[in-house]
Amino acid sequence: MVIFQKVLVLFLLFFFLVSCFNTNISAAASSVSLLQKEKELDRISALPGQPKVAFSQFSGYVTVNQEHGRALFYWLTEASSLPEKKPLVLWLNGGPGCSSVAYGASEEIGPFRINITASSLFLNKYSWNREANLLFLESPAGVGFSYTNTSSDLKNSGDKRTAQDALIFLLRWMSRFPGYKYREFYIAGESYAGHYVPQLAKIIVDYNKKHSNSIINLKGFIVGNAVTDNYYDSIGTVTYWWTHSMISDQTYKSILNHCNFSADKATKPCDDAVYYAMNREFGDIDQYSIYAPTCTTTLSDNNNTNIIKHMRLKNSLLRRRVSGYDPCTESYAEKYYNRKDVQKAMHANTTGSIPYKWTACSDVLIKNWKDSENSVLPTYKFLISAGLRIWVFSGDTDSVVPVTATRFSLSHLNLTIKTRWYPWYSGGQVGGWTEVYKGLTFATVRGAGHEVPLFQPKRAFVLFKSFLAGKELPKS
């Protein structure tokens, strides 16, 4: 009898364990099934006016804060060949408050370009998705199609929350797209993403130290015309203006005398000197590429793009809050992404809860940005010691975050030179100049403005391929 009771107890225990196991398996399978369904719901069959392509596209939302209702919009364009073997690259634009869909995806590194009437798309011959899977993120909430249900979020955004939300986005996005877990991962961006990119890299490194089996396999980052250090960036910017004959000797001296670049706020004499330079001496040029012709097309009166541009430039010396800008192509994006059929195809604004038009930049975010590090140079030092691959590049015709600004800032890292300054080549021509340091590679791109891949797509592509391969830029 005792033996029978023991056998019965063991049988019931076994039955209980099997039931629990099956329940857990069923729950896990259900969870996987739900994530797979979410992924497929994000699949883009085709965008309006899009040429046929062989690669897959996905776009949609990932909630990063349930309580506030913050959700970030992404657009994934997988590699045009062997996507399962290619790395994942996250692209971020700056502002703060400007769209990676408007800039990075639509006029720089993405596979499509928008035609002049915003009626169709055409292929970008030098799209970076030839070498990697590209993930464009509209960040923070309030940029582009990304939104928040808490209006105060729009007036208290800053560097720290942007990085934290981006980390949460990546973790949740990779759960939806498990094929990218542990995949070789890089971050790329430009302009004020000179803050976003290294700041996100740092919190990923910190996160990975605490979680030994982290799904984010960060290998490095690459940034262009990057806001780096308020003081050195400002000195370098004024130096660029003067050495490129954009301002007079008198104005140059006046700015140096009246502007305290180490202060958080500008004084009226400093504002007056900078205002005089921009409005009396610059002339009607594209300050993001000083030798390029300006666009004569006026953007529609129902957006604030020109106001934003003026404000960004006015504040450019002491508060480096600028983003990529091309006056013509930006207007095509604003027309295209406000089309209802485009939004439907991209699963954007699905509930119609965004009460404003899609714009390339958010003036609310730009005006109300709260925390902004004066310098990310300490972050660079941390990430260099962490062993990440770090490349910084600069288009040499940009006067907003110019090459001199970047060189002044990076020089204060006091890095050891591994390969001395030399010209690198693309298509038989000098593509720019580069110097390789222990822990960082710096490169210029000849003839490129603030948005390097827009002005020099082939040279930018060579740069990107070299970065991914971990090889020095070609010497011949």
432 bridge partner residues: 424
Active site residue 398: yes
pLDDT for 108 beyond 80: yes
Query: Own/partner pairs for 171-174, CB < 8 Å, 24+ apart?
Result: 171/215, 171/216, 172/62, 172/63, 172/64, 173/62, 173/74, 173/135, 174/215, 174/216
At 299 the pLDDT is: 46
CA proximity to 277, closest of 296, 257, 249, 305? 249
Percent of the residues in the chain that have a pLDDT greater than 90, as a whole number: 79
At 331 the pLDDT is: 84
Active site residue 195: no
At 355 the pLDDT is: 82
Give 247 or 312, the one with higher predicted confidence: 247
Percent of the residues in the chain that have a pLDDT greater than 70, as a whole number: 86
pLDDT category, 324, cuts 50, 70, 90? Answer: very low
Q: Is the dihedral of CA 461, 464, 466, 468 positive or negative?
A: negative
pLDDT for 279 beyond 70: yes
Give 17 or 295, the one with higher predicted confidence: 295
Query: Do 423 and 430 touch, CB atoms closer than 8 A?
Result: yes
pLDDT category, 14, cuts 50, 70, 90? Answer: low
pLDDT for 115 beyond 90: yes
At 266 the pLDDT is: 78
Query: Which range among 121-125, 201-205, 301-305, 413-417 shows the weakest confidence by mean pLDDT?
Result: 301-305
Q: Please give the full DSSP string across 138-172, using - where no structure is assigned.
A: E-STTSTT-B-S-GGGGGS--HHHHHHHHHHHHHH
The predicted-structure confidence for 44-56, as pLDDT tens digits, reads as follows 999 999 999 999 9
Q: Kindly report the CATH number that applies to the domain delimited by 57-229+373-469.
A: 3.40.50.1820
pLDDT category, 247, cuts 50, 70, 90? Answer: very high
On the CB side of 149, CA atoms within 13 Å amount to: 12
State pTM to two decimals. Answer: 0.88
At 433 the pLDDT is: 98
Cα-based distances in Å from 81 to 173, 189, 222: 22, 23, 22
Check 106, 153, 229, 450 and give the catalytic one: 450
Check 59, 127, 191, 426 and give the catalytic one: 191
Average pLDDT over residues 458-468: 98
Interatomic CA distance for residues 134 and 63, integer angstroms: 20
Check 106, 398, 399, 466 and give the catalytic one: 398
Query: Do 349 and 145 touch, CB atoms closer than 8 A?
Result: yes
pLDDT category, 127, cuts 50, 70, 90? Answer: very high
- The average confidence (pLDDT) of the chain is 89
